[in-house]
Every structure is written in C-alpha cells, then in structure tokens.
C-alpha cells in the first residue's frame, strides 16, 4: 500500500510552545529551540521511516523492524535522506536569498512517522519558517497579522497542502479572528495552535497539539481559519481563551467544534464552511481606529465622552460595546444622545454581550433604546471577532451604512444566521 505524503508550512511566531526559562525563571522564546527539540524526536521527525513509530502497524512490521534496525542501532545519516521544501517569506531566513520581491530558500523538512488516518497511511513533511524575533503573544499586533497573511499568500499556490501557525495563547483568538477576515476564498486548512506548557517540559500539552495540528492541516481540507487545542478543532473567529492554566484553554460557546480528536479523528462536516467559489484573496489593510468599551455599574460618563470624542475626530471609526446580558446598559439619556451624535458623525457602534453564550437583542427596553440611538446589535459576535471584523471592514471602500448592515451578517461563519 502506498503512503500518501503531504506538505505543511509551519509559521512559528513565538509563544509558550517554544519557550525556555531564563536565569530568573521567566519563560522566553529561544531561537532555533523548537526545531532542535522536534528534530531529535522520531515521533516528530522520521524522514527515513525507520523509527519504531513508523513500524508499529502490526506485529509483523515491528518484528521486521526489530530484526533489521535493532532498537539500539543508530539511524543512518539522516542528512543524506532529509529533503527540503521551498519557502518564501518577506523576512530573511537562514539559507534564503532575496529575489527583488521577497526572500526564497530551501528549508530542511521534518517528517512525521507513517500513520493511518481514515484507513490510509499518511506522512506529513513540514518546514518551519521561524520568525525573528519570536514574540510573546501579548506583543502580537495587527502588524504581525499582516506579516503572517503575506507569507501565507507567498506560499499558498506552491507545494503546501496546509498551514500551521504556532502562536502564544493569550492573543491567539484575536489572531485567528483577524486572519479569518484577511484571508478570503480559502481552499486549504489554516490552523493555529500553541500550548500551556512549553515543549521543553516532558509533561506538556505542546506535543499533542503540534502533532495533531500537522496531521489535520496536512491530511484534511477544512477551508477556514481554525484553532486546534486539547483534542478539539474550533472555528477561529468563534473561539476565546478561557483559562490561564488548564489544557482545555479555549472555548467556542456559540458554535460546535469542527472536529474532535479521540480514538478517531471525527470531523463534523455539517458545521464546516464549504470551499469558497471566490478566488483566494488576501486583505492586507486594517483600520486601527477601534475601541472596546466594557460597561460596569458606576462607569464614569467623562470616560465614555473622551473615547467617543476621539473616535469622532477620525474619518472612519468604530466602538464596540460590551454590555450586560442580552445587550443592556444603565438608562442614561445623556449617553444615548452621545451615541446618536457619534453615529451621525459616522462612528460604527456595535453592541456585544459580556456573556459567553447567547446573543444581544432589543428584548429589554434598556437594550432597545440603544438600537434607536444608532447602535448595531452584533448578535453573538465574540469580542475578538467584533474587533477584527470591524478593523477589516473599515479598511474597505464600503460605506458606513453598508458596514452597519454587514456587522450582524456572517462573512466567515463568525455569527449565527439565526439568533
């Protein structure tokens, strides 16, 4: 039986997954560490298919491996068998050359052991494009989002079947949401993952997250931006981080997982977006003129006034309200007048809930009057999706009224059609 070989580009941005403790005990990313760890473990790198992991399909395969290789025998020179993958990037990387438009070079490929998926034997070859500097995800900004999508664009129509983005967990949901709007017309899997414990620790969730992400991105076409974490594949613009310490760190409260990994890899195809009929397009412009305002009992009016006055000074801007329950705030006629003024001046104001499940509506008087003041109900948008969706929309040539109509409508599966 022939082995199906797939190629994946791993874009390594930083995060806990490749960190190591410094002299103070604080975790920091370290250059080349991730690749060194993966390449020395045959579970992640078996280019000659002669490790024990590639020969455990049955007793006969193991016996043959034992007789030919011997458990204590050193592998033959891997360098002679290691192949490379051509990678393009907008930043220089080891072995690359600049062709006038971008950097291009051959990156030595790591290769997973042979494994059966859906009755077919697969192996995934992957190249790691390591960014410099590697970032803690709290340092990730829209500038990095643009960098990631530009590198995906360069490599999209080449020999890669899917993409894995290694990213810190703190802002992963923001990055996944942003990428979902910046990448249009997908017909390949774009998958973000990371870990709560670094790969430098034996007891780490990093190993499972990396290995399953490679297998999913390489062997299954899920044409959207996703997050894989703790045996679940989530739609990126539906996910949010919910724990600083648990391996089950992400939730998709208003939408079911796209896939679950247990004894089988089960994809719920009924909830996966279909392949787009649109051509693959990368949107590289984002608007920074957005603010998120979380309401709380006793919030000071002058704080809200200062935020809105600043937004009004920009030609196009947006304000995301995080309100109580199903979209309510304390009744305040002065505040409603302020929202009307901002709306009339072109500021797009969107109402989202502080609750994880459910959606906003005008079911209560205190929510209904917000709609009368020009505030758009954001249905069940997460804060991360609302922020990145508006950042994307404000950068287009759509009018303010068109943007207001599009906010509660699904572009990339970010809101439920019926809420």
Which positions are annotated as active-site residues? Answer: 16, 169
Q: Which of 13, 5, 382, 34 is nearest to 193 (CA)?
A: 13
Q: CA 386 to CA 377: how far, in whole Å?
A: 11
Q: What's the sign of the alpha-carbon dihedral 144, 147, 149, 152?
A: negative
E-strand ranges in 147-294 read 162-166, 183-184, 189-193, 225-229, 232-235, 240-241, 250-251, 259-261, 265-267, 281-282, 290-294
Q: CA triplet 179, 180, 186: central angle to 5 degrees?
A: 105
Radius of gyration of the chain from its Cα atoms, rounded to whole angstroms: 24
Identify the helix (H) or strand (E) that includes residue 401.
helix 400-406
Q: Pairing mode, if any, of strands 232-235 and 259-261?
A: antiparallel
Distance CA 220, CA 338 (A): 50
> Distance between CA 409 and CA 357 in Å, rounded?
18
Query: C-alpha angle with apex 115: 112 to 116, nearest 5 degrees?
Result: 150
- CB-based burial, 158-177: b 16+ in 10 Å, e otherwise: eebbbbbbbbbbbbbbbbbb
Phi/psi at 38 (5° precision): -65, -40
């Amino acid at each position: 039986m022939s082995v199906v070989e797939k190629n994946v580009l791993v874009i390594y941005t930083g995060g806990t997954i490749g960190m190591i403790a410094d002299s103070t005990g604080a975790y920091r990313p370290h250059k080349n560490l991730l690749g060194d760890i993966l390449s020395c473990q045959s579970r992640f790198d078996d280019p000659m298919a002669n490790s024990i992991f590639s020969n455990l399909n049955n007793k006969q395969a193991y016996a043959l491996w034992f007789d030919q290789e011997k458990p204590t025998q050193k592998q033959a020179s891997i360098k002679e068998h290691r192949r490379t993958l051509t990678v393009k990037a907008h930043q220089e990387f080891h072995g690359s050359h600049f062709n006038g438009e971008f950097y291009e070079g051959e990156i030595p490929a790591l290769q997973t052991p042979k494994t059966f998926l859906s009755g077919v034997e697969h192996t995934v070859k992957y190249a790691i494009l390591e960014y410099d500097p590697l970032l803690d995800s709290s340092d990730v900004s829209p500038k990095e989002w643009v960098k990631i999508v530009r590198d995906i664009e360069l490599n999209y129509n080449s020999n890669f079947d899917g993409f894995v983005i290694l990213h810190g967990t703190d802002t992963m949901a923001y990055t996944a949401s942003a990428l979902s709007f910046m990448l249009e017309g997908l017909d390949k899997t774009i998958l973000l993952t990371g870990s709560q414990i670094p790969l430098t620790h034996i007891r780490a969730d990093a190993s499972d997250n990396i290995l399953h992400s490679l297998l999913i991105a390489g062997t299954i076409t899920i044409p959207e931006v996703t997050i894989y974490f703790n045996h679940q594949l989530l739609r990126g613009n539906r996910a949010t981080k919910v724990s600083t310490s648990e391996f089950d760190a992400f939730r998709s409260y208003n939408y079911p997982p796209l896939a679950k990994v247990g004894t089988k890899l089960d994809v719920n195809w009924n909830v996966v977006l279909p392949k787009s009929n649109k051509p693959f397009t990368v949107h590289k412009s984002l608007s920074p003129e957005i603010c998120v305002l979380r309401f709380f009992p006793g919030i000071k009016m002058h704080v809200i006034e200062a935020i809105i006055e600043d937004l009004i000074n920009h030609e196009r801007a947006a304000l995301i309200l995080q309100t109580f329950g199903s979209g309510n705030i304390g009744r305040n006629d002065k505040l409603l007048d302020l929202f009307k003024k901002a709306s009339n001046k072109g500021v797009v104001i969107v109402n989202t809930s502080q609750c994880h499940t459910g959606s906003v509506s005008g079911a209560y008087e205190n929510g209904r009057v917000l709609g009368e003041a020009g505030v758009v109900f954001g249905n069940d948008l997460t804060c991360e999706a609302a922020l990145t969706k508006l950042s994307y929309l404000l950068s287009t040539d759509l009018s303010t009224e068109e943007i207001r109509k599009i906010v509660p409508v699904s572009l990339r599966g970010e809101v439920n059609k019926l809420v």
